[in-house]
Amino acid sequence: MFGAYIWGSFADTRGRIPALILCQACNGLFIVGSSVSQSLWFLILMRFLSGLGEGGTVPLVYTYVIELLPVKRRARMTAILSSTYMIGQTGIAGLAWLVLPHTEWTWRISNFTFNYWRIFLLISSVPIILSLFLFMLFPESPRYLVQVNKIAQAKSVIRYMFRKNQPKKAYDSTYTIQCEVEGESTNSIAALQLNSYYGLTMWFPTMIQRMDESKATSVCAVTSLTSNKTLCDFSDETKVYFDTFLQAAANLPGHLIYFLLVNSVGRKPIIGVSMVLTAISVFFIWLVSSPTGSIVMSCVFAGVTIVTWDAIALVTVEIFPLKSDQLQGVYRMP
């Protein structure tokens, strides 16, 4: 949440690409710091600072991509962009499945310990660091350049994009660009809706595992269990990763539904219906009485919620003008 406010303000004054580069640098650097942490408090600090970077990246990526696209292509491209998060989630679940069960991967040098979960964090930082360098090759958002009165640079970016997309066509440079809107911007809001989504999806694997181990018959019974602080049992650990993989893959139907219906049905009906269905799916989670039922409902929740995510990410960039009051993001908070 804090990252969205901080980097949203920065992007409105310095540009989308500089903000994205710094967000990824912040995220990647502090994930690496997390991997070498030797104390709980240092780990918490590193994860918090990493979250500041990620909190800025999510809304800025949506804002940047949507600002590059013509109006008629924005809706469906939002679904394609969101599907990359699904791919990333399934990849992380697969990586965890491969690395985390190997508790024997532990090395100690004096007071320094480097083991399996630190290896997982270090590997997961690699795509983030690589994307930092890729962002350096991308042009600035022409819409942002127009809003800050850099018309010549905006035309240069549009010319570059045209020649990349239509290399055989002649470029018409006789058009004019006008900026008439003075208002407030959206960069801080595109990710804040995810707080409740990520909170529940992180809770589901733990709930399912505890229900399976304790033979509990309801969510209420699971939440009343006390933890065992003397024994760590990794015998069935891989099931947690498979359940997480299923939840990530469950986003695919939601992306497809949004992709097929957004232009014909419209943004507002999709947001309204998907929010109602999300609320219903959360309500039924409390009625499940088996681990299998919990997995099914968590997948339903993930698939329905992602439709809302796609639609709101699009609408916030389209509705709100560029220079924003950062408090517009409060309505997405849980």
pLDDT digits (tens, 9 = 90+) for 84-107: 888 888 888 889 889 988 888 889
Using CA atoms, how far apart are residues 95 and 88, in angstroms rounded to an integer?
10
Q: What is the pLDDT of residue 44?
A: 93
Q: Do the Cβ atoms of 56 and 228 come closer than 8 Å?
A: no
Indicate the pLDDT class of residue 214, thresholds 50, 70 and 90: low
Could you give the C-alpha distances from 52 to 30, 49, 76, 269, 298, in angstroms and in order? 10, 5, 28, 33, 27
Domain-embedded: residue 13: yes
Based on the structure, what is the number of domains in the chain?
1
Which pLDDT tens digit goes with each residue over 266-298? Answer: 888 998 998 899 888 888 877 777 777 778 888
Domain-embedded: residue 173: no
Q: What is the pLDDT of residue 21?
A: 94
Q: Which of 19-28, 182-191, 213-222, 247-256 has the lowest mean pLDDT?
A: 182-191
Compute the radius of gyration of the chain from its Cα atoms.
22
Q: Do the Cβ atoms of 90 and 245 come closer than 8 Å?
A: yes
Q: What is the pLDDT of residue 27?
A: 93
What CATH number does the domain containing 308 carry?
1.20.1250.20
Tokens of 102: 């190997």
Domain-embedded: residue 107: yes
Q: Do the Cβ atoms of 219 and 286 come closer than 8 Å?
A: yes
Bridge partners, 108 (sequence order) = 113
Which pLDDT tens digit goes with each residue over 35-78? Answer: 999 899 999 999 999 988 888 888 888 888 888 888 788 888 88
pTM of the model: 0.77
Q: Do the Cβ atoms of 17 and 135 come closer than 8 Å?
A: yes
Residue-range definition of the domain harbouring residue 71:
2-138+181-332
Q: Do the Cβ atoms of 248 and 91 come closer than 8 Å?
A: no
Domain-embedded: residue 252: yes
Indicate the pLDDT class of residue 172, thresholds 50, 70 and 90: low
Q: Do the Cβ atoms of 308 and 196 come closer than 8 Å?
A: no
Domain-embedded: residue 166: no
Residue 91, amino acid: G
Domain-embedded: residue 175: no
Q: What is the pLDDT of residue 198?
A: 57
Could you give the C-alpha distances from 126 to 19, 32, 73, 130, 136, in angstroms and in order? 19, 9, 31, 6, 16
Indicate the pLDDT class of residue 179, thresholds 50, 70 and 90: low
Picking from 82, 90, 89, 51, the residue whose alpha carbon sits closest to that of residue 65 is 82
Q: Do the Cβ atoms of 258 and 270 come closer than 8 Å?
A: yes
| φ, ψ of residue 217 in degrees (nearest 5) | -110, 5
Domain-embedded: residue 162: no
Domain-embedded: residue 265: yes
Indicate the pLDDT class of residue 324, thresholds 50, 70 and 90: very low
